[in-house]
Chains A and B, each alone.
Chain A
Amino acid sequence: MKIRILPPEQDLVELIAAELAAFQPDLGRFWVVFPERRPAYYLRKALFKKVGHGYIPPRIDSFDDFVDHLYAEKFGVKDKKASFLEAVGILYQIHRQSPIPLGGQAFLGFDEFFPLGLKLYHDLEELKQAMVKPEALREADLLVQLNLPPETADRLQSVSFFYQRFYDEVKALGLSTPAGRLSFVIDHFSAEAWENESFILAGFFSLTRSEAELVKKLISLPKTTLYLMAGRGLEHLANSLDIRLEEAEKPSSLSDGKESGRAEWKFFMAPDTHGEIFALNRELEPKLKQPDKLNVKQVVVLPAAETLFPLYHQTLAGLPPECFNISLGYPLTRTPLFSFFDSLFSLIQTIDEESRFYLPEYLRFVLHPYTKNIYFPGPPRRAEFTRILFHLIEETLTQQKGKLFWSLEEIENNPRLADSLNRYVLSDPEAPEAEKLLSHLKQIHEKTIVPFLEIKNLKDFARKMARITEYLENESTASRHVFFEPYVRAFLNQLEALEQSFVSSFRFDHPRSYFNLFRKMTAEASVPFPGTPLRGLQVLGFWETRCLQFDEVYLLDMNEKVIPATGKTDSILPYAVRKAFGLPTYEDLERRIEYYLDVLTRGAKKVSFYFVENSEKEKSRLVERLIWEKQKKENETDASKFIQAVRYQVALSSAEPGPIAKSEAVLDYLREFRFSASALDAYLSCPLKFYYSFVLRLEEKEEITDVLEKKEIGLLVHAILDRFFKRWVGKPVDPEKLTEVELRQAVAEEFASKFGQDLSGSAYLIKHQVEAHLLDFLRNYQLPLIRKLAVQGKSFHLLGLEERLEDTLEANGTVFKLVAQVDRAEKRGDRIYIVDYKTSAKNKAYEIRLDKLQLGVRSTWPEAVGSLQLPLYNLLWAARHRQPPEEIFAVLLLLGKNYLSEDIEYLPFGEKSEARREALGIMLNFVKALLLEITNPNIPFSCDLAKEDSCRYCVYTSLCGIEK
């Protein structure tokens, strides 16, 4: 046995390679074991250099692989390595048999049990690793030093229940677990039989009790060499291996107790991840400009995997691919493939009894980039047709507001969709026929959604997922993304593990459980970016740096909760119990991080630490300590002297939209424009709004929502009242024949035409409300009004519905066109009323405050005139029918009031002729002035003239450039 301790600046791998090279070609008899897999790549590369040509390599393993190989090869045990799913599956079966299951009734489903089972599995493996006997655990409450509270004692009983049965079950099923294999190897180890083996054990720091046991046995063999790196806390390892560091072979630099040469340390503080990366870019600048200066002795360490893509895009992507190399595990849940499945399953979970899906989820799924980029079959295959197809679906279905549940057939056979596809096909000469597009749609449904409507068991589920994954891989643009392939592989591995396990026969009552399990499984998994061949700048996860020596180290995300990642150990076994049984505690984990960080940073010539500091995040304790060490060394009381900070520029200006001049073309257009009340109102509210809405005709895209907006309810009510009154146009209305039955029917017809027959959710409730309220309208407003007239011997004569009025108006020599559409016109006795329905309760928005209006003072306009609607109706009707305007009564019916009575009428300017004439006169002049302003080339469209508060409900807040 030989134990050698190396200083951190020594390249362990190089050293081993140099020593091994001497034995070429007989390398095959060596067995090199590192704590993890990655150094094998480096060792093989180093050996190649030393040997100078191809060779048959020594065995190089991570510790776990090493144990597995011993188990299978040395001892020839043939069984299956239990996947974590199988382990949890076994625990689940034990759990179901338990008289007092953990957590009572809470975890009886497999998917519910899964996270708990996983935790339990880890704990059991750790117990096994710590060589705890089941009896010992069962009798833990007898351990005086523990002083167990009774509740914990009970809980330990449950764990021991599992502990006892679990390994028996594992065995019975022909399976084995890592801890089981390790313990088997230890039990069967024989020094004599192994005498001639040449083991090289290198770079260990923390070992569990049984790992230490095995290492102890190995180092007792004559031809074993143990290499250790000097670093903070190495004595802990020495203790667990019963070795004396003083006796080990080491260079004099280590023996004289001096700390090895400190690298140059820099600390960078940034407000966020990108700040760290931009500061890193600056540090790397010379090398980024001359990529050939990048080499394998430089490493960017990413303790937080999610920084990979920012780093990739902001730093690496510009480099030639051979200049860098990434190796770390990336969380599978961050990949688009996960989100694809997630949205697919969310969609399926919305299915109702009639096999209809919730539209927003359907759209979310089909608009997922992977779905909407499935190729339309060729040749040549083209994805844009699919994109157009789904956008048209979105457009069409969204317009059918209120219908929120659709079956796939309803979508596929929707006549409106067919229409809009036909229209599109006409517009694009390359487009395939509408029918083909529709059958393409069907095909996509069949391939993605349909298979999951019925799931037989986990195996079936896994198969179906694998099939979709393959479908995407081959039939969509997804695979064009360079990282897609690794994602797929990681996914398929998961699915394969599922399929290849005995749990694959598990079946659930509810599809939800499959999806849940899928989500929970994926949360545990990561995509390995193995990063070979080795060249250029190394980008590694923290653990991937173990046993490797670098000259330049750039450590990103040196933050609390990242490194170390979690606080106290996440376990069912409390700290004191873990400690008492020799299971690793959070302290051990932290010690391990510290050790490897120490070796990594002290081995380098230059180290830069980057961390984020903001209201959420604080720098890692590790950095805190290094800074303190620096403070001590340099006797500097102010820590901030060592820190360089990234700061961003912040713009605080708040821009106001600029004016928009009126071009000749626009002026011509405006002079010909048919001005409606809503156009004039828009202009009054904000001239820019008018410009965007009426000159450029830019409209907001309709969004699917689960509530009908006010506007849509308004349209519904209008349509219903139109239906209801239609048969009376041109006739006096007979109150006895204006029946509730007819009104109900009008409501039913209108809703059916908009939303179909069977309403649910808010559409149903709205219908209920609309019907009830319109009945109120009939009973408490309309009929009493007509009857009252009748009592006075007058009739109620319906003149028209939805009548369009047009006229011209001359102002300063220009003739303007005005239009209006009136909801209803009627004659009550001799008086003409023009009625406009409103579904709101307040008339404030329509008020005209003549007392506030000064025609000559522009700034009084917006606040004085709420809406020009009623005056315009008045004027236009009067003009068309050549009647004095003051004798036309334009009123609003505020149908939105809670109780309806004759009070719901709003009539501006009062009843008195004189006052009305005067008021309408002013309004006429006002309209003229407004029209002249709109068409005045010298007055640009500008928000300076806008109403206060006009931006609040404006849809152009992005367009006009306002920063509010």
Chain B
Amino acid sequence: MRATPLLNPDTAISFPEFVLLKASAGTGKTHALTLRFTQFLLSEKIKNNDLRQMLAITFTRNAAKEMKMRVVQWLKDCCFGQEETVSQLQELVSLNKEDLKVRARVILENLLSRYTDFQVMTIDSFMAEVFRASAVDLGVSPDFEITLNASPLIDYAFYRFLRKVTSSSPEGKRLAEIAASLQALGKADAAFIWDPTSEVKTKFIELYHQLEAMNRRPRRENRSEELTSLQEKVRRAAESVETIVEATELRRRQNAAFWSLLPKIKMGYLNDLLDKSWDSPPFNKPRAGSGSQELAYESAVLKWKEFLEAVNAYKELYARTFFLPYLETYDDLINLLAEVKKEKGVVLLEDINRRLSSYLGQGIVPDVYFRLGERIYHFLIDEFQDTSPVQWTNLRPLVENSLSQGGSLFIVGDSKQAIYGFREADYEIMMNLERGREFFPSVETQVKQLTLNRRSRKEILDFVRMVFPDGIKTLQKYAAKAAKSGLDDYEATVSEESSSGHRPPGYVEVHFIERDKEPTEAENSEEAGEETEEELADQETRVKSKVQAIIAELKARGYSYSDIAILTYRNEKAIQAAAWLNEQKTPFIPFSALDIRKRRVIKEILALLRFLDFPPDNLSLSTFLLGELLAKKLALDGEPLSSQAFHDFFFRCHLNHDYPAYVALRRQYPAIWQNYFDPLFKSVGYLPLYDLTTQLYRLFNLFDLFPEEEAALVRFLEVIKEFEGTGKNSLREFLLFASETGGDESVWTIDVAAEVEAVRIMTIHKAKGLGFPVVILLLYPERKVYPLFYLAEAQPLDEGSAAWVLKLNKSIAQASPELASVYEQYQIKDDVNRLNTLYVGLTRARQELYVVGVRGKRKEFPLDIFEDLTLSEDARYAPSEEKPPAKREKQEPVGKTVATLKISAPLSLPLAEEKHIAREEIRRGEIIHSLLALIEYADQDFERTLATSAAKLKKLAPHLEIPEEIISLIAASLAAPELRSYFEPKEGRVVFREMELVGPEGALYRADRVVIDPDLITVIDFKSGRIKEEKIKEAHRMQLRNYQQILREVYPEKKVQGLLVYLDEKYWEMAE
């Protein structure tokens, strides 16, 4: 069988070509992609296949790196004639074996020497490149920096905005109004917003991200008056219902929410109505034939309908105006943000996408290609399902242009694995292409499917198949949604090796952890509340024991911890699972990365730095004094003090009000202070951050005392290095940076190598693209997440690209078909996302899969799927009773480990001498020297010579101010005939100015003036300023003697004398 039957041999490809390759989990899409890339490079039949004409787009930078590596590896293997590689490539490239090897070598070497042209990158970096090439056109400073993190900019813009907020400013007025309306819109029991600023800001940020991703501005319409009148209408309608019911004998329907809400309605609090859906009138229908009652009923129903209409109208308007207060400030803030970005010369990733989307549409593509250096003919795109609409908008014209020129597009993706809906990715783009709803006019779409699963063993695949696609199709609740991303219809075949018995069988085990007691009728209904805590606790304990037991069993059977991954939907559950493992002292890595700020030793280092920055900070001092770091160091130094002593110390400080504590410490423990604090306390004054930290490391022998924390300690130094790279290096700023949460935390985390013996715990999202020998999939009831805003295209599209920002919930959405449809769309997206996530979770395991479901009170996603498919009974899915033998995955680290050396001698940095430097003086001296250097021989009138010299100097430095004083000074100082003679021409005399002389070690000197006469050489040095210290004069003499010495060596036959002239002092001395 051909390895990748889906790729056509180069002779069979006709251009333009568009292939959309559907690749289910584990089917080796990267393989297909890299193989195609390699094929194109190697083929002599495919046109326009120079490196520069091909572009592969990946989802992450890591993936790009990996893909490059793989292509290189293909080529290398091919050069070495590696059987499998060569035969795979031979199927695709029409070259014989030998030619192929030779060609591979040529291509590889070409690739390595033109690596810049080897274009494998993320879509963001590609777009950034396009943007960079267009920056000037777009009016963006060409030195712009791209930043991914908008929050510091938003913070700054927001603070600028706040400055304008005062009692008399329009901004202040507006925000005050917002504050008032915030209250009006909140529910009675909600928290009052004392400080509306942060509220406005948080909402702004959220809104900003969503609107930017859609490339829209919010639509604003102020309809508050209408809202008031609708409120009034609702109230009146409600009252008429009440009046009719009261006036007639109609019976109120018990439990009808209307009656309990009526008082609130009358008071004008309508917000509590928003959650309610009204099925039937709040009064009973009289028995048939009761005459007047029936009539009353009829008219009451009419009133009731009026009421409902009013409520709906109110809801509709409410949905559209809820966020108005925030939108009011949106434009202001956006403008400020733009200003800030411009000032700082930064561009946000979203700006790139947004601005390109209007730019790239204008037939500018050939020009863009020209600026990029070359047209890209062949596009290969990975993980296509995660493309966002705006990305696709930008990419499409480029692709279209290539196709029209006979290029190709090769898209690989799996809409079933689209789980980044929250990042605005849209799997529908892929579905639309797949199903022909979108297409390229110049080319036919070839849809192909990779079906051979290379990851999972047969039993796992069989199990997954029972859910997706076989099971899900039969579930009415999910079938349609599953169809949206293709979960109901795909193939996955087991790789030969696995089915032919070459590999040991796989294994699946399912456990459903029941709740403690059976749910009652009522609980099963929609109204059922949350589980009570103790119910959860007991169930939780059982889940915990189960997971712990599974891990223990796996370990006992021979798996290593690093073979096991625990996957969950949500972060909180992952954290909880981490706690379970911690309890058992099982090593684990949360989310495959560790934040070093959580390590104790780092906390103590930070505390010490904090103390050094602000000595009165007693808490930081105590953190350090009572901590582990100092204790270890004291023990190392044989200091008998225990940390108890410091506990007592702080206790005494408290009792005696002896603060700040460091002063007390210095007094009470002078030796401790002297040895461990004083050196740092002194150098914090002038040492830059990195230097200070290194000094601290050495002072406390950190690498020696905490060998196990090596990674964290090194990372900390790296962070500081990177921090200084951002142009900041004050300790204070660093500490602020260290206490920031949110934002980019990756600088603080250490990657943990795959071979480290620890269970991986992560969310399914993080596990995407990864495979593990054993997976424990923890499933809890997953409630829906409701977005804060619902965005909808403003209809009609009159304001360009505006969007409605809607407040919706199930009940409000019913108010109008339009709202309902928006709501519905979001719901579907969310559902598809959740289903896809389940699919991803189920398909990560290679050998063994454990599904642990934790039942909730109600039947809820995703557990309901298993229940409805009767897969929720504890069961094993394996060919035999016995569990298969463990197959550990050897994680071969690259290269052999090399030993390192960290210098641990205490760091004492040299101190510069304290001296007073008068820059003005120095500058004046330089001018004097420059003037003198321009004089070969002087006129009778020395001043005139100097003036000429000054004029020359002015030409070289037109903006230099030459003070008159200098000229007269020089003239006066050199007036003495003894000195003047050296400026006069003479028979056989040669004059050198600024003569270069070389002394020992090749040191270069410049003598101010060297006058060479037939048998005498005079070397002259001019000095400016008034020199008080004899020491300095002595140094001058030394220097002169040095010149004389060199000249004597060069001209052994001549006599050499030295002349030192102190111009300001009008004094000179001659040295023989």
Contacts and interface: CB of A to CB of B under 8 A. Distances in A.
Contacts of A706: 159, 162
Most chain B CB within a 10 A radius of its CB, from A394, A473, A478, A621: A621
Given A474-B916, A839-B194, A963 B955 contact: no
Contact of A769 (B114, B143, B196, B367): B196
Interface residue tally on B, bucketed by range: 35 or more
27 contacts: A41-B1002, A57-B1004, A278-B900, A278-B901, A288-B903, A306-B724, A309-B724, A313-B907, A314-B903, A333-B727, A358-B159, A367-B613, A473-B919, A482-B909, A570-B142, A621-B112, A625-B113, A639-B76, A640-B895, A643-B894, A663-B651, A699-B618, A713-B194, A765-B172, A901-B188, A958-B604, A959-B627
B289 interface: no
B76 A841 contact: no
B245 interface: no
B898 A841 contact: no
B900 A275 contact: yes
Given A269-B895, A383-B685, A391-B615, A274 B714 contact: yes
A343 B114 CA distance: 43
Given A104-B139, A567-B116, A766-B195, A334 B729 contact: yes
Interface in B595-649: 598-600, 603-604, 606-607, 610, 613-620, 622-623, 626-628, 644, 647-648
Given A646-B897, A760-B165, A961-B627, 14 more contacts: A78-B955, A115-B143, A149-B370, A152-B371, A271-B714, A279-B898, A288-B901, A369-B688, A470-B919, A481-B688, A615-B62, A628-B112, A713-B194, A766-B195
Nearest to A575: B373
Given A274-B717, A501-B959, A765-B176, A107 B139 contact: yes
A551 interface: no
B1009 to A, nearest CB: 15
B1001 A174 contact: no
Interface in B520-537: 533
B936 interface: no
B298 interface: no
A645 interface: yes
Nearest to A710: B194
Interface in A592-646: 594, 613-616, 618, 621, 624-625, 628, 631-632, 635, 637, 639-646
B447 interface: no
B141 interface: yes
A423 to B, nearest CB: 11
Interface string B739-752: 00000000000111
B730 interface: yes
B288 interface: no
Nearest to A560: B115
Contacts of A961: 600, 627-628
B77 interface: yes
B905 A696 contact: no
Interface stretch (B702-710, B817-825, B839-847): B702-710
A252 to B, nearest CB: 28
A954 B1046 CA distance: 73
Interface string A532-550: 1111000000000000000
Contact of A309 (B68, B179, B721): B721
Given A391-B615, A699-B618, A106 B143 contact: no
Contact of B911 (A482, A641, A901): A482
A56 interface: yes
A760 B172 CA distance: 8
B265 to A, nearest CB: 14
A364 B166 contact: no
Contact of B730 (A148, A343, A959): A343
Most chain A CB within a 10 A radius of its CB, from B198, B897, B958: B958
A147 to B, nearest CB: 8
A56 B998 contact: yes
Interface in B103-134: 108-109, 112-116, 129, 133
Contacts of A501: 959
A641 B896 CA distance: 8
B903 A315 contact: yes
Nearest to A365: B730
A608 B63 CA distance: 28
Contacts of A57: 996-998, 1004
B760 to A, nearest CB: 12
Nearest to B908: A317
Contacts of B143: 115, 118-119, 520, 523
B646 to A, nearest CB: 10
Most chain A CB within a 10 A radius of its CB, from B750, B901, B917: B901
B80 A637 contact: yes
B680 to A, nearest CB: 13
Contacts of A700: 619
Contacts of A492: 919
Nearest to A388: B615
B61 interface: yes
Most chain B CB within a 10 A radius of its CB, from A104, A115, A274, A535: A274
B1032 interface: no
B275 to A, nearest CB: 16
A48 B900 contact: no
A734 interface: no
B366 A149 contact: yes
A848 to B, nearest CB: 15
A42 B1001 CA distance: 9
A898 B272 CA distance: 13
A764 B167 contact: yes
A574 interface: yes
A654 interface: yes
Most chain A CB within a 10 A radius of its CB, from B116, B374, B604: B116
Contacts of A275: 714, 900
B956 interface: yes
Contact of B373 (A373, A502, A574): A574
B139 A898 contact: no
B614 A701 contact: yes
Contacts of A840: 191
Contacts of B613: 367
Interface stretch (B448-456, B506-514, B581-589, B779-787): B581-589
A378 interface: no
A939 B473 CA distance: 61
Contact of A318 (B183, B194, B687, B903): B903
A383 B305 CA distance: 81
Contacts of A572: 136, 142
Nearest 6 A-B pairs (CB), nearest first? Answer: A45-B1002, A106-B139, A54-B1046, A643-B895, A278-B900, A44-B1002
Nearest to A762: B197
A641 to B, nearest CB: 8
A272 interface: yes
B1045 interface: yes
B676 to A, nearest CB: 18
Given A383-B685, A647-B753, A55 B1050 contact: yes
Contact of B197 (A586, A761, A959): A761
B714 A650 contact: no
Nearest to B155: A706
Most chain A CB within a 10 A radius of its CB, from B269, B731, B893, B998: B998
B99 interface: no
Given A151-B367, A477-B685, A713-B195, A338 B919 contact: no
A441 interface: no
A240 interface: no
B1026 interface: no
A650 B752 contact: yes
A695 B654 contact: yes
Most chain B CB within a 10 A radius of its CB, from A102, A481, A575, A708: A481
Contacts of A953: none
A669 to B, nearest CB: 7
A115 B132 CA distance: 13
B464 interface: no
